[in-house]
Amino acid sequence: MKKIVQNLKSVFSPRTVAIVGASATANKIGNVLLRNFIDGKFPGKVYPVNPKYQEIAGLKCYPSVSSIPGKVDCVIVATPAETVPDIVDDCAKKNAGGVIILSGGFEEVKRYDLAERIKKTAETSGMPVIGPNCLGVFNPYTKVDSIFLPMYKLERPRAGGIAFITQSGAVGSTVLDLAAYYGLGVSKFISYGNSTVLDEADYLEYLMNDKETDIIILYIEGAKDGRKLLEAMKKVNKVKPIIALKAGRGAGGQAAARSHTGNIAGSYLAYQAAFKQAKVTEAEGITEVFDFVKIFHQPKPKGNRIAVITNGGGVGVLTADCIESEGLALAEFSEETKKIIAKILPSYGNVANPLDLVADAGVEAYGKAIDAMMADPGIDALLIIILTQTPPIDERIIHVMTKASDERTKPIATISIGGTYTEAYRKILESKGVPSYNSPNAAVKAMGKLIIYSRYCEQLKKAK
């Protein structure tokens, strides 16, 4: 299996791609796939495969994979389930680099015979097979895109450091669309469906050594080998943070998961225990996945002492409550910090944490307060509340926050609550890598998860 995992490079970084089931009919899966590579400007060669055509979209069409001249690195299969085992056999004879099977109709409908044939061929040949019953992969670095959802309906995110492993294509496509909307960068997207040959543990192992990946998101319904998954999570999470979302927590969800991919969801308590043992960060929903992954791009804090800056006292108090409820601490300002802050505040202001800059505070006051707190050794992280509705706040605040984030001195996150105008600011901040939240609870919880992981990494260093 180790050899198969290593060979995944052919799927993620191919020079040649064959699309079996390619079609000249618009909106058919085989046509969408072909358009993905043409319109996405894939730099290598693309070979449509379908015995019904001589040519599609100006490209010569081949009757089979084995009839293609030269090396074929990646084969994408979108044909009826009954035809797939023979196609995989043909790929193995061709010595293809790897196969992505998008087709459904295998374990999830109890066609274990078809699945077993695919698995046997893959293991005998050492050829990696992703799927079946999946969306396959997306790699913005190499322009590989086997997602059969049109680009005008599902925006593709830019290249970045977030890898996403998902058992569900539907959940995966939603996360991709949201990542693109918020300007988050993706390194690899892997939808693996039934995990007939390779499972989530194998993909974790691969991504651990992937130079383009910094953070891994794992959406899982049910693992075939729980022990293997636990060991992989323990190993990988020491190197790169894993944010996990487990579906199928209740009886109804577990039954749905089994009919979805043919995998048994198993006891949620067992998965929860595994996440804790591996020190994996668990999210409770898609919203929390994004809340957590944003903050994990920030530098690791040295402790749990948080400073709060606000231009609205009430939101500062709510944030302080959340900090206490999450078991974190409000930082004590140094004497030097207090002196600097006293000069920033109007005569009626108070030097305290949370620091209320008051409603008439401008962008300059934020910048000076942030600089002072970044230099204070008694502060580990900053939560910065920006009520964009106040008259002195304008677009210059984006530059101040981006500068503080880019300098990577201490982790920061912003909290802005409001409607259309506020959300527009938040979206710009997130596109520039500044974690932004629309509630104190979400921001504090995310910062707490980063602090927990940072503490774990520090323990690992001391143990060496």
* Predicted confidence (pLDDT) at residue 270 exceeds the cutoff of 50: yes
Question: Which residues on neighbouring strands pair with residue 437, listed in sequence order?
Answer: 415
* Predicted confidence (pLDDT) at residue 265 exceeds the cutoff of 70: no
312-364 pLDDT, tens digit per residue, is 889 999 999 999 999 999 999 999 999 999 999 988 889 999 999 987 888 99
Q: State the chain's mean pLDDT as an integer.
A: 93
Do 1-132 and 305-463 have matching folds?
yes
Q: What is the mean pLDDT of residues 406-427?
A: 95
pLDDT at 250: 54
Q: What is the CATH number assigned to the segment(s) 1-132? A: 3.40.50.720
pLDDT at 249: 66
Q: What is the mean pLDDT of residues 232-249?
A: 94
Name the CATH code of domain 154-297 (choices 3.40.50.261, 3.30.365.10, 3.40.50.1580, 3.30.1360.70). 3.40.50.261
Report the distance separating Cα 295 and Cα 444, nearest Å.
Answer: 10
Per-residue confidence band for 57, with pLDDT thresholds at 50, 70 and 90: very high
Q: Which helix (H) or strand (E) holds 385?
A: strand 381-385
- Provide φ and ψ at 129, rounded to 5°: -130, 120
* Predicted confidence (pLDDT) at residue 134 exceeds the cutoff of 90: yes
* Predicted confidence (pLDDT) at residue 224 exceeds the cutoff of 80: yes
Q: What is the mean pLDDT of residues 162-170?
A: 94
Report the distance separating Cα 214 and Cα 291, nearest Å.
Answer: 16
Domain extent listing, the chain: 1-132, 154-297, 305-463
425-450 pLDDT, tens digit per residue, is 999 999 999 999 999 999 999 999 99
Structure-token pair, residue 354 = 């949370």
pLDDT at 441: 97
Which residues touch 394 (CB under 8 Å, ≥6 apart)?
363
pLDDT at 360: 81
Report the distance separating Cα 436 and Cα 423, nearest Å.
Answer: 10
Report the distance separating Cα 306 and Cα 330, nearest Å.
Answer: 5
| CA 261 to chain centroid | 21
SS3 state of residue 273:
helix
* Predicted confidence (pLDDT) at residue 463 exceeds the cutoff of 90: no
pLDDT at 266: 63
pLDDT at 346: 86
Per-residue confidence band for 256, with pLDDT thresholds at 50, 70 and 90: very low
* Range with the largest mean pLDDT of 242-256, 289-303, 346-360: 289-303
State the angle between helix axes of 396-406 and 363-374 in degrees (0 to 180), rounded to the nearest 10.
10
pTM score above 0.85? yes
* Predicted confidence (pLDDT) at residue 287 exceeds the cutoff of 90: yes
Per-residue confidence band for 255, with pLDDT thresholds at 50, 70 and 90: very low
Q: What is the CATH number assigned to the segment(s) 305-463? A: 3.40.50.261
Q: What is the mean pLDDT of residues 223-242?
A: 96
Q: Which helix (H) or strand (E) holds 323?
A: helix 313-325
pLDDT at 424: 93
Q: What is the mean pLDDT of residues 233-259?
A: 76
Report angle CA 330, 353, 365 to the nearest 5 degrees.
130
Q: What is the mean pLDDT of residues 23-28?
A: 93
